[in-house]
Amino acid sequence: MQWQIGERRSRFERERPPGLDVTERDIAIMRATARHRFVRSTHLQALMPEEPAAKILRRLHKLYHNGYVDRPRAQIDYHRKGGGSKPMVYGLTSRGERLLAAETGTSPKRRKAGAMRLSLEHALAVTDFMVSLEQVCRERGDVRIIDSDEILASASERVKRQLNPFMWETNVRWGGEEHRLHVAPDKVFGLEYANGSRRFYFLEMDRGTMPVARGDIRRTSLLRKFLSYDATFRDSLHRRLYGLPGFQVLTVTTSEKRISRCLEVLDDVAARSGAKRVLFFIKAAAPVDVLALVKP
């Protein structure tokens, strides 16, 4: 049965809060939501396989109506276009952040600048990748994901105080000129293997909408990102800012044709050394490919 528009919108209006005694399950739900920023209910079910799906949905209902999680209204159009019922998308509210901080003994997180302007579809694509990667790591049993909070713990105090601590400025040489460009990965994470070795990654989720290259480096393009990452390595910014011994850029994209175009661009510019740090994967099989290609 398809929803009527009014019924869809009512799902985005809070009712009188039902009684809520915060449980360990609630904390786990909020912690996972905070870690990924935006999650579908199905993401949470995948991350908490030991919990019955119906219980997770019931707890989300209570957390939403008590104001601890939100249902971004941007998804109203997604529901309308697709018709029928789709998994609801959730994000943590300021109240949820405070509760999570109190329960875990940490400081409340400040919202990153511009985060609410981020395309919901793009954000969910990042969550899709990270949740799938977590599932693959759990199935293997010998690989652990090092999340961004753990990485940030080793960063300088100045970096920690920034509104978006994983955005930094680079000096890129292009067209005979110096350009100061900012770069902000879609996700920063690491993999720790059973033998203790660690690898670190900057994730770029490419949905095929951004030009691979432009004539003007000041305008957004994948080339601009690649050059910024190359400058990051050249100037050891990954070490100075985050204490990372090294990194690779994981670019998850849409097709082999798109990958070929990116490689052509990297071969045509003075970024051949940077090309060694850029790995490309097709979206559908990316998490499995990552663990198969990137070995300890």
The values of phi and psi at residue 229, to 5°, are -65, -35
Q: What is the mean pLDDT of residues 247-276?
A: 81
Q: What pLDDT does 294 receive?
A: 59
Check if the beta carbon of residue 186 is closer than 8 Å to that of residue 204.
yes
Q: What pLDDT does 286 receive?
A: 58
CA distance 275 to 253: 16
Q: What is the mean pLDDT of residues 10-17?
A: 78
- Centre a 10 Å sphere on the Cβ of residue 32 and count the other Cβ atoms it contains: 20
114 pLDDT exceeds 80?
no
Residue written as token pair 């941007």:
74
91 pLDDT exceeds 90?
yes
Dihedral sign (CA 212, 214, 220, 226): positive
Q: What pLDDT does 59 receive?
A: 94
Domain with CATH 1.10.10.10 in the chain: 5-106
* The 187-193 sheet, strands edge to edge: 143-146, 187-193, 198-205, 248-253, 278-282
Q: Indicate the pLDDT class of residue 77, thresholds 50, 70 and 90.
A: low
Class of CATH domain 5-106: mainly alpha
Closest CA to 166 of 107, 98, 237: 237
CA distance 5 to 203: 36
Check if the beta carbon of residue 198 is closer than 8 Å to that of residue 183.
no
76 pLDDT exceeds 80?
no
CA 159 to chain centre: 19
Tokens representing 220 are 């957004």
Beta bridge partners of 170: 181
Check if the beta carbon of residue 129 is closer than 8 Å to that of residue 205.
yes
% residues pLDDT > 90 (the chain): 54
**Three-class SS state of 221:** coil
Q: What is the mean pLDDT of residues 263-281?
A: 72
CA distance 88 to 82: 13
Closest CA to 65 of 20, 116, 99: 20
Closest CA to 222 of 235, 205, 238: 205
Tokens representing 273 are 């050394």
CA distance 163 to 77: 29
